[in-house]
Structure formats: structure tokens, C-alpha cells
């Protein structure tokens, strides 16, 4: 293909006025200038639409859309992706409270263009003061998809941070809807699906920035309910057999359940509340892995031993 590579940056947003300005400005500042920025306002009640409309009036590369009613979060993500141009060779989802470095598109597109087998390109992500996605060999920029999936599901290298990835647009168009609504961590699910048949590219530099704030889904839902504990088990059961042998699957699941049951015991001690336990017991039932009394007794013993060995950690859990 000749000519500059066209990229769709897609921002699904609901009541994101507090941070949207900075997000849009980080897109407009890209050194790779051949892009569109598709913003889908999910019927926000704050000044989201006003901010986006002001920028759209200044820059024709920004295309603003608004839903008539507020859709569920994953449905809104999928609708936003359906609005991207048919001319796009690559797509990058950038949530309204996140930003990217000015050379983010340029650097990730270069990797994708050098390696046609790559379906996803990641990079280091800075969240708060912590750099995420470290651990891959720095001398390599391309990895087999199965290698990345195995490292991820073993919880050895978290290279798939959702705010860090460039996607091949044809893969997005091929999956309708793109994000499976059965998961809160729907981005992880579709990445594991894609990695079965496509390689993974990586830029060993901080190009993505994820904001920490009290109103984010990460804080209000994911961290409060420890949703990844449940969804990791479901993701492992669904996608793991594509990448692991039966014996490996058995060991991975056993290891995860030991941690999971300990977290339930810890949640009981720290009085996490009925909703927390209902959520996790429903997930364990769905996975067919409800704990037995013996499982919980063993988890309590391991948690007690850990508390004796590290009393300071227990005090932090109890808020003392």
C-alpha cells in the first residue's frame, strides 16, 4: 500500500469532561499526523460534548458523535469502533482519562509496518508513578502471539495493558462486536483471541499514560471488587486450552484458585461486604470451582501463616 498510513484513534466517553481536554490535545499533538480522532459521547450529562465539539470545530480530523441514550460501557466501546473510517489501517482506543506521548502513533505504526504478522503493538504504560508492561526482552520487538498469551495467563508478564495497544483495523472490523460483553475486562478477552493467530509487537518505551483518579472504572469497580480475580479464572478456562496442555491448565488453575480462596478469606476478615462475596461466588459457580469447606480451611491456614510472618501487611489490610 502506498501513501501515508491512516490511523483511527477512538475515544468512547461518558462524563469525561474533567480529563477529555488533555486526552484530545495528546492526540492532536501526534507526530504521525495522518489520523482521525473518533469521539463517541455516551449521552454524557457533564460538559463532555461541549469540550469535544470545541476541538472538533478547530480540527477537521476530529469526528464527534453522540448517543441518544447512555449505553452499557462495553456496548459503547463497540459502537465507537464501528464509527471508525474504512480507510484506517490501524486503530488505537484511547479512553478519555488517558493520554499518549506525541510520538506514540509514529513508533507503534513503525513496528506494525515492519512486521505484517503483528496484530497488536504494545508499549510501556505509566499509571500514576508505576511503569507497567515491563518484562519482555528489550532486544526483541516482535513476539509470537502464543508466547505473549502464555506469559500473560501465567501472570508472569502483563504486556497487554489496554491503554497501550495499537490494533490492526482489519482485525477490529472482522470481529463484530469487537469486545465480548460477557467480561468487564473485555479488552483482555479479545486480545487473547487475537493472539492465537497473530504476533505481538512491542515498543520498549513509555508511550501511554493512564490516569489514576477516584471516579475511574478501575477504582470504582475493578479494584473495589477485585474483578480480575474472577475474570482471570474465566479467561483462563476459555482461552487457556489454546495455549497450554491439559496438565499445564490443571496446574495454572490450581495455583490461581489457591490465591483466589485466600483472597476470599481475607475479604471475610476485612469485612468486604455481601456484594463482594456474591460477585465472586457467582463467578466461581460459573467456572464450576466453588470452594469446599476444606479449600477454605486450607486458605485460612495459609492466610494466618502469612499474617504471623508479616503482621504489618495484615494491619494494612485492616486499615490499622
Three-class secondary structure of residue 32 per DSSP: coil
Claim to verify: residue 53 and residue 171 sit in the same structural domain? yes
Give residue 212's pLDDT: 77
Give residue 257's pLDDT: 96
Claim to verify: residue 134 and residue 71 sit in the same structural domain? yes
1 falls within a domain? no
Which residues are paired to 90 by β-bridges? 7, 168
How far, in Å, CA of 144 to CA of 118, rounded? 9
163 Cβ contact partners less than 8 Å away, ≥ 6 residues apart: 93, 94, 95, 98, 125, 208, 209, 210
Give the chain's domain count: 2
Give residue 214's pLDDT: 61
- Which positions of the chain have pLDDT values less than 70? 1-2, 213-222, 311-320
Give residue 120's pLDDT: 98
Claim to verify: residue 294 and residue 269 sit in the same structural domain? yes
Give residue 81's pLDDT: 97
Claim to verify: residue 221 and residue 189 sit in the same structural domain? no
91 falls within a domain? yes
pTM of the full structure: 0.90
Joined grid coordinates for residue 265: 478469606
305 falls within a domain? yes
Claim to verify: residue 200 and residue 226 sit in the same structural domain? no
2 falls within a domain? no
Claim to verify: residue 204 and residue 257 sit in the same structural domain? no
Give residue 220's pLDDT: 46
Claim to verify: residue 205 and residue 221 sit in the same structural domain? no
Last residue of a domain, one of 210, 241, 271: 210
Claim to verify: residue 126 and residue 251 sit in the same structural domain? no
Instruction: Identify the domain containing residue 258 by its residue range.
Output: 217-317
Give residue 122's pLDDT: 97
Claim to verify: residue 188 and residue 281 sit in the same structural domain? no
Amino acid at each position: 500500500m502506498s501513501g501515508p498510513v491512516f490511523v483511527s484513534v477512538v475515544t468512547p466517553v461518558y462524563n469525561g469532561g474533567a480529563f477529555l481536554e488533555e486526552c484530545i490535545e495528546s492526540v492532536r499533538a501526534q507526530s504521525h499526523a495522518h489520523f482521525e480522532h473518533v469521539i463517541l459521547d455516551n449521552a454524557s450529562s457533564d460538559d463532555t460534548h461541549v469540550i469535544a465539539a470545541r476541538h472538533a470545530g478547530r480540527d477537521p480530523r476530529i469526528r464527534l458523535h453522540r448517543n441518544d441514550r447512555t449505553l452499557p460501557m462495553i456496548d459503547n466501546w463497540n459502537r465507537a469502533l464501528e464509527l471508525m473510517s474504512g480507510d484506517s489501517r490501524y486503530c488505537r482506543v484511547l479512553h478519555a482519562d488517558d493520554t499518549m506521548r506525541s510520538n506514540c502513533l509514529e513508533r507503534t505504526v513503525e513496528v506494525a509496518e515492519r512486521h505484517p504478522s503483528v496484530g497488536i503493538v504494545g508499549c510501556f504504560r505509566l499509571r500514576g508513578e508505576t511503569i507497567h508492561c515491563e518484562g519482555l526482552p528489550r532486544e526483541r520487538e516482535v513476539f509470537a502471539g502464543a508466547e505473549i498469551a502464555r506469559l500473560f495467563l501465567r501472570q508472569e508478564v502483563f504486556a497487554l495493558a489496554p491503554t497501550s495497544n495499537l490494533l490492526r483495523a482489519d482485525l477490529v472490523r472482522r470481529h463484530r462486536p469487537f469486545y465480548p460483553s460477557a467480561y468487564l475486562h473485555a479488552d483482555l478477552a479479545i486480545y487473547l483471541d487475537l493472539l492465537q493467530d497473530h504476533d505481538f509487537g512491542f515498543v520498549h518505551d513509555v508511550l501511554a499514560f493512564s490516569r489514576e483518579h477516584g471516579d475511574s472504572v478501575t477504582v470504582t469497580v475493578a479494584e473495589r471488587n477485585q474483578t480480575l480475580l474472577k475474570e482471570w479464572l474465566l479467561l483462563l478456562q476459555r482461552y487457556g486450552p489454546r495455549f497450554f496442555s491439559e496438565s499445564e491448565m490443571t496446574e495454572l488453575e490450581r495455583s490461581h484458585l489457591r490465591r483466589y480462596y485466600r483472597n476470599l478469606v481475607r475479604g471475610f476478615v476485612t469485612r468486604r461486604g455481601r456484594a463482594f462475596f456474591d460477585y465472586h461466588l457467582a463467578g466461581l459457580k460459573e467456572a464450576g470451582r466453588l470452594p469446599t469447606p476444606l479449600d477454605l480451611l486450607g486458605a485460612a491456614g495459609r492466610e494466618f501463616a502469612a499474617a504471623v510472618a508479616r503482621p504489618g501487611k495484615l494491619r494494612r489490610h485492616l486499615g490499622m
